[in-house]
Amino acid sequence: MLQHELTATVETALALGLTAEEYERIVQLLGREPNPTELGMFAVMWSEHCSYKNSLKLLRTLPRTGGRVLSGNENAGMVDIGGGYAIAFKIESHNHPSAVEPYQGAATGVGGILRDIFTTGARPIAVLDSLRFGELKDARTRYLVRGVVRGIGDYGNAFGVPTVGGEVYFQPCYADNPLVNAMAVGIVPIDRIIPSVARGVGNPVYLLGNRTGRDGIHGASLLASRTFEDGQQDMRPSVQVGDPFAEKLLLEAVLELRDAGIVVGMQDMGAAGICCSTSEMSARGRVGMRIDLDAVPLRDPGMSAYEILLSESQERMLVVLRRGTESIAEEICRKWGIGCARIGEVTEDGILRYYRHGELVAEVPAWTLVAGEGAPQYDREAREPAYLQELRAVRPEDLPEPVSPEEAFWRLLTSPTVASKRWVFEQYDHQVQTNTVLLPGMADAAVLRLRELPGRGIAVSVDCNSRYVYLNPYRGAQIAVAEAARNVACVGAEPVAITNCLNFGDPYDPEVFWQFREAVRGMGDACRAFGTPVTGGNVSFYNASPRSVVYPTPVIGMLGLVEDVTAAVGMGFRAEGDVVLLIGPQRAELGGSEYLWLFHAMVAGDAPTLELEEERRLQQVLRMAVRRRWLRSAHDCSEGGLAICLAEKAIASEGALGAELALPWELTAAQLFGEAQTRVVVSVPPEHVASVFQLCREWELPCVELGRVVRDRFVLQGVVETSVAELRHQYERALPEPVERV
């Protein structure tokens, strides 16, 4: 018989983030009033963070199958790369924890996404990050930047995984709610993938890893699933504390358990801890579990059942083993010095039963707790935002140009969003494991060789320009997918699949939900056009405060396959005398551009034009030209436009290679600094120029010669004439000087 400590109330439910209607739904599902422990379980599992109750219906419209995608694992997306191997990859957010405690918030974000990878049986081989902050003139923003970057670097470096790429943006709307999105990538033999499911009545259930403490309780429901309000940012007890050294040992133990062939299923204990992992694994397997909370290793023996179930202590796994292999698992865990405790067993009736001090403290059908089954799903009201009509009425190309092209060039080159991110990535070890082929800042996408498949590799990129999404959520989300695919194509890779992290405001705000709905629709259409299914990801709502709501920011993590890593190209010039070409249409568009923000303090107009078929052709041309070794470099035009793209190619060059360039268009701000899409600047050996032009004609793409690669100087006629050394100096100093100011 269930031991009721107290009967929960509607008031208790409201305090935990549930609604009165949801409380009544719980009563109906259980056929009785829940006790406080059970109500706490429903509160975390039905939170937005765990249940996707306001997003799941829309997410199910995305293309989820086809191509190389493997199905059947909930921890991370899986893609068949041939040769008997799969890539596991996923991106998630740790936004609110990073706003409250930037170092631990970012560090545990990295730790959590790494566990999502190795619970599939994959060894992590790379991390990327997508970061957004307020303006650097604000002291709190500088504090957040320093803490977040140090947290990411310290965790990844100690764990031993390279951080190989990412992006950093600065905009006032992120002042209260920085976005900290982390993506991880791993590799696994297909025949050794571990599912996140519980099966086999009588099979033992184990908890591996660290002891359980009181850190992170209600992190999913009270921190990640609510909007910040005045005075509520001091929520440090809801932020977990990470231990990368313990996680490294946990990784090695998990992989040895995998190779021993004794694991039935496994899941990371992230959000909602034991409650989440036991319920989700059981629901997937249509089984139940009997869990003895007295067997859970604790940091404080006085913890209640409620605290044990909901703790989000880090570096823990739930594992279902094959019955009879317990001694093998325990010996492996002893070898690696990690905790290993049998806490229960699989049952056949689909009911979760939790015991504390020998008494039954919670009894809940597993399916009632999980997303897509018992958890509610909503259709929220959506309404086009009132601001759009006013902003789209602005024609940025008609605005006066307040400074000369040369002054605009230098200010754009040194704006924090455009300038070098070396200060960030130099704090990360990007060469550990020695698989990194193209270093951060040297290519449009990170390229990693795969030791398991000699000669082959992968390319990965994270991308989103949230200004475009703010101005046009549908097209802006398409552009995010297109740029991620374009960046992968620039190194010669074939885009094959995406993961996504969808960062938005309050879903109960009809204007925010309209942004979300349109962005999901745009992302889906772009993925169908490029043949890149969505393997999974994360939705982060409630990124808002009384002062501001973040721009809609659907970050795309793109995976590409590289057939020959020796053919991959970076962005910088590599040989004097090479011809510089622009492939793709030149459109004079300033909507949502960095130029418009810097010189008119506006985010206005419309998102740049994007024609998906034209974009697909461009990416195909790039892949073919790289694989035929006709290109020595390729770099897409993005923030700052064509002029900044050309300068970045010189900055990233080998030695001190620059260029002498002349643009065949009027030197307006829109032509120089507009951020039109579907454009890539390449450098080509003279003997291959004719072949590149012919390839572009065959694929019906414009191709224009802009100049030649020269040594030591950078000349853009009518705009700027300088040395490559000065370009680098200005580009490199722009970020560290303001960030390091206390």
Enzyme catalytic residues: 49, 94
User: Using CA atoms, how far apart are residues 17 and 14, in angstroms rounded to an integer?
Assistant: 5
DSSP 3-state assignment of 193?
coil
* Token representation of residue 150: 């140090």
DSSP letter string over 211-231? PB-STTTTIIIIITTS---TT
User: Using CA atoms, how far apart are residues 291 and 306, in angstroms rounded to an integer?
Assistant: 13
Residue keyed to tokens 């946990």? 250
* Token representation of residue 679: 């454009």
Torsion angle (degrees, nearest 10) of CA 361, 365, 370, 373: -160
* Token representation of residue 391: 């902003």
Q: By CB neighbour count within 10 A (0-12 exposed, 13-18 middle, 19+ buried), where does 590 fall? A: buried
Helix (H) or strand (E) holding 249: helix 244-260
User: Using CA atoms, how far apart are residues 397 and 599, in angstroms rounded to an integer?
Assistant: 13
CB atoms within 10 A of CB 334: 11
* Token representation of residue 354: 């939790």
User: Using CA atoms, how far apart are residues 398 and 388, in angstroms rounded to an integer?
Assistant: 19
User: Using CA atoms, how far apart are residues 67 and 218, in angstroms rounded to an integer?
Assistant: 38
User: Using CA atoms, how far apart are residues 538 and 533, in angstroms rounded to an integer?
Assistant: 15
| Cross-strand partners of 78 | 70, 88
User: Using CA atoms, how far apart are residues 244 and 160, in angstroms rounded to an integer?
Assistant: 9
Report residue 398 CA to chain centroid gap: 36
DSSP 3-state assignment of 365?
strand
Nearest to 673 by CA among 573, 609, 598, 575: 598
